Amino acid sequence: MSEQKPSPRSKELSVELRDRIVSRRRSGEGYQKMSAALKVPKNTVASIILKWKKFGTTKTLPRAGHLAKWSNMGRRALVREVTKNLMVTLTELQEFLCGDGKTFQKDKPYLQHSTNQAFMVEWPDGSHSVKGT
């Protein structure tokens, strides 16, 4: 089997090239010279070096945490609380969701987006309307 070459438009640099950039930086070479010698944009060289300084590696590391997803029960509880009091604030919603003995910590923008999504209904003609009005 032949080994596939990455496409010329590929955004991912080879590990070998990233290692050469780091080794040249350790030897004291500047961004401009590295960029010209390796035929890589100066911004790419700079971003690789910043990543290396920050994390000690040029590998792509996994991001922290797990993306939150609402359960149906949590979504219904949120809708119930908002329909009781339409003027409820996001801080009060946050306290409600965290105060019921649930280990549920959500940030305000996420709550706002979820509340808006829970109350939106899409009609067949493509228009939107708020539930209950």
> What pLDDT digit, counting tens, does each position of 59-75 carry?
877 777 765 666 777 77
Beta bridge partners of 120: 130
CB atoms within 10 A of CB 27: 7
pLDDT at 18 over 70: yes
- How much is the average pLDDT of 14-40? 92
Q: Which two tokens stand for residue 34?
A: 């590295």
pLDDT at 40 over 80: yes
pLDDT at 34 over 90: yes
Nearest Cα residue to 80 out of 68, 95, 97, 64: 97
Nearest Cα residue to 75 out of 35, 110, 34, 24: 110
The tens digit of pLDDT for each residue in 100-131 reads 544 455 566 767 777 776 666 555 565 555 55
| pTM of the shown model | 0.43
